[in-house]
Structure 1
Amino acid sequence: MFANIAKAAALTALIAVGANTATPSNAEAGNIDFGIYFGTPGYGPGPYWGPAPRPHRGICKPRRAVNKAWRMGVKNPRIVRRNPKRVVVRGWRHGYKTKIVFANRRHCPVIAYR
């Protein structure tokens, strides 16, 4: 019973709003805009809501690469090579020499592990 009443009321409101906006007024003084905004203007995703966010660029800091290698089980890790694309860390694991290659990006993702 309540659902039928709610549906009828919603339909009546929708028809009333549609009829009100469809009939223009002769005494319209100017443009009247109506909008609903969420959030603070200037900090949103739209084209007029401020500058686009910059891509997250970063580098693999040497200390982070060495700590990550140590957490992976490499004893006495040290950086042997570093260039704009990768960071190479060498050390010992289970009695054998090992090498880990990290990408020179944020959070030092592992490229190769030998």
Structure 2
Amino acid sequence: MFNTIKMAALSALVGLGTLAALPAHADSIYLGFGNNQDPRVGVYTGDDDGNYREHRRHGNWRRSCSPERALDKAERMGLHRIRIIDINRRTVKVAGRQYGDRVVIVFANDRGCPVLYR
């Protein structure tokens, strides 16, 4: 009986020691129960940022504000019937309708499409 309790206690200490050392080795621990696209269930360790970096490096990633990005950002800001009215090396001008009024937004031709004028 004493041997069984001793082995259970030793196993518990080894298990807790492994779990305590795991976050020092991995960036993150994820407990996944699956979703509609991924039915897998389990514990995942590590950082999944490598796929994002790989996608960003090989995808159509630019450091400037493309016209498509400016249109997407204007649409997220609530404009309807949006169109580009002017593009130069420093700005991208987008016009559209919001609450029935005509709105012109000027984006800087820089990373993230910052708004210069609205």
TM-score relative to the length of structure 2: 0.47
Q: 1 or 2, which has the higher strand percentage?
A: 2
TM-score relative to the length of structure 1: 0.48
Looking at CA atoms only, which structure, 1 or 2, has the larger radius of gyration?
Answer: 1
